[in-house]
Amino acid sequence: MILVTGGAGFIGSNFILDWLAESDEPVLNIDALTYAGNTENLASLAGDDRYVFVRGDVCDRPLLDSLFATHAPRAVVHFAAESHVDRSIHGPAEFIRTNVEGTFTLLEAARSHWSNLPDAERQAFRFLHVSTDEVYGTLARDDAPFCETDTYEPNSPYSASKAASDHLVRAWHHTYGLPVVTTNCSNNYGPFHFPEKLVPLMIVNALARKPLPVYGDGLQVRDWLYVKDHCAAVRLVLARGQIGATYNVGGWNEKPNLEIVGTVCALLDEMQPHPDGSYAHLITHVPDRPGHDRRYAIDARKIERDLGWRPAETFESGLRKTVRWYLDSADWLARVQTGAYRQWVSANYDQRGA
């Protein structure tokens, strides 16, 4: 069995579905079910004996100790994190608690479990920490993409909290010998993405004929990675990654935000045209967020060279699948847009005139 944290979130739920589609090895999922955690993402696993869900917090050490003792997982895949930059600007405390304190608590529980394993099981144990490219800071237009040896220069409360968690994972390996591996991924998109992030927010607002808020000039560049490609990379790193190593996982798709929004509009025009005309007319430039990093880009040559991974989807094929999924999942979308979600969107965007 493997233990997955944050497995009811966007990437975590995709990973669990992918894992159980490729393997019969059971999964224990612990998730606190904050606003972005949704057990409905995993409804297809109802009655599947390979899947165990526990509602819980990674800061809860007694619970973690109990789960390790009861289930004796051979590996931990740590997705649980607060992950939205805008939310970290409005309220950084939760990001420090979950991303820093939570990772520390999980590391300590895993270390205690690992230390008491028989030799063969101790050597086979792995702690895989899933992180972000944002820990590296920002790039100028002509800078080389981020590689694994770049200096950390986080610029938001979110990225600073993830950088801190990365450092803890590294320290627990070098100090205690805990067999860890870390992945730093670029911007994910795909099914089950909570509609606060760029791609799903644009789809949701477009379908409701609401403004499509684009920060500043919209020319901030990100590298885009289809979530199922990311899941395949994590699975491969868990199986074959070098202990103590870091692997950057990117899609080789650098795109400015404005182009992303335009492409989403074009796909919606094709798949679900509206009598009022193109969705692109809804694009609205709003004041930028504080400290907005200008460009991220991932150099993913190491994981390709060492482990043979490369994304299967192009940006065009991945985004088409994503838009189609949202159009086919109207009930899911309606249920995740609760009053709390609407309040957050109002708090973040009304002051920007969107």
CA angle 304, 295, 163 (to 5 degrees): 70
Q: Give CA–CA dist 310/308, Å, rounded.
A: 7
Contact 209, 282 (CB under 8 A): yes
Q: Give CA–CA dist 48/220, Å, rounded.
A: 43
**Which position among 133, 166, 223, 313 bears the catalytic label?**
133
Question: Three-state DSSP class for 188?
Answer: strand
DSSP for 258-293, please give it: HHHHHHHHHHHHHHS--TT--GGGGEEEEPPPTT--
Q: Is 158 a catalytic residue?
A: yes
Q: Give CA–CA dist 29/54, Å, rounded.
A: 6
**Which position among 31, 57, 86, 134 bears the catalytic label?**
134
Q: How many CB atoms within 10 Å of residue 239?
A: 10
Q: Is 288 a catalytic residue?
A: no
Q: Strands (DSSP E) along the chain, which ranges? A: 2-5, 27-31, 51-55, 75-78, 126-132, 180-185, 187-189, 212-215, 221-226, 246-249, 254-256, 283-286
**Which position among 158, 247, 279, 296 bears the catalytic label?**
158
What's the gap between Cα 201 and its chain centre? 16
Strand partners, 221: 256, 295
Query: Phi and psi at residue 181, in whole multiples of 5°?
Result: -150, 145
Q: Is 134 a catalytic residue?
A: yes
Active site residues: 133-134, 158
